[in-house]
Amino acid sequence: MVDDETEFVTTLAERLSFRGIEVDYATKAADALLLVEQKAYDLAVLDMKMPGIGGIELKGLLEKKCPAMKFIFLTGHGSEEDYIAGSSEARYYLVKPVNIDTLISKMMEATKQ
């Protein structure tokens, strides 16, 4: 998980861990890129708007390192309609505050493909 809101990402990671999902998190894109150097990940949950490198740009950088990685995007700005209409990733776009059960459902769906 990558989100510049420290309290949000730590709380969400903790809630996912309580449900048996192994989670690492970063609050900066640069830290996320270091994490993928150390460990293989199936899925990344990315905040769309972060200082410096945002979610879409980070997705491209992560895909270069982990081509099979799947992505879910989170944002506190806008709505699903504001996202990339018709994009294959549009179904993996959630608006904050995210419902934990919805996030887990999307995570399972994304990793099964």
User: What is the C-alpha to C-alpha distance for residues 104 and 110, in angstroms, rounded to an integer?
Assistant: 10
- Domains in the chain with CATH codes: 6-111 (3.40.50.2300)
User: What is the C-alpha to C-alpha distance for residues 83 and 11, in angstroms, rounded to an integer?
Assistant: 25
Q: How far is CA 69 from CA 18, 60, 64, 87, 94, in A?
A: 23, 11, 10, 17, 18
Helix locations, the chain, DSSP H: 6-18, 29-38, 55-65, 100-111
Contact 98, 45 (CB under 8 A): no
Whole-prediction pTM: 0.88
Q: What mean pLDDT is reported for the chain?
A: 88
Largest CA distance in the chain: 36
pLDDT in tens, 16-46: 999 999 999 999 999 999 999 999 999 999 9
The stretch 7-20 carries a mean pLDDT of 96
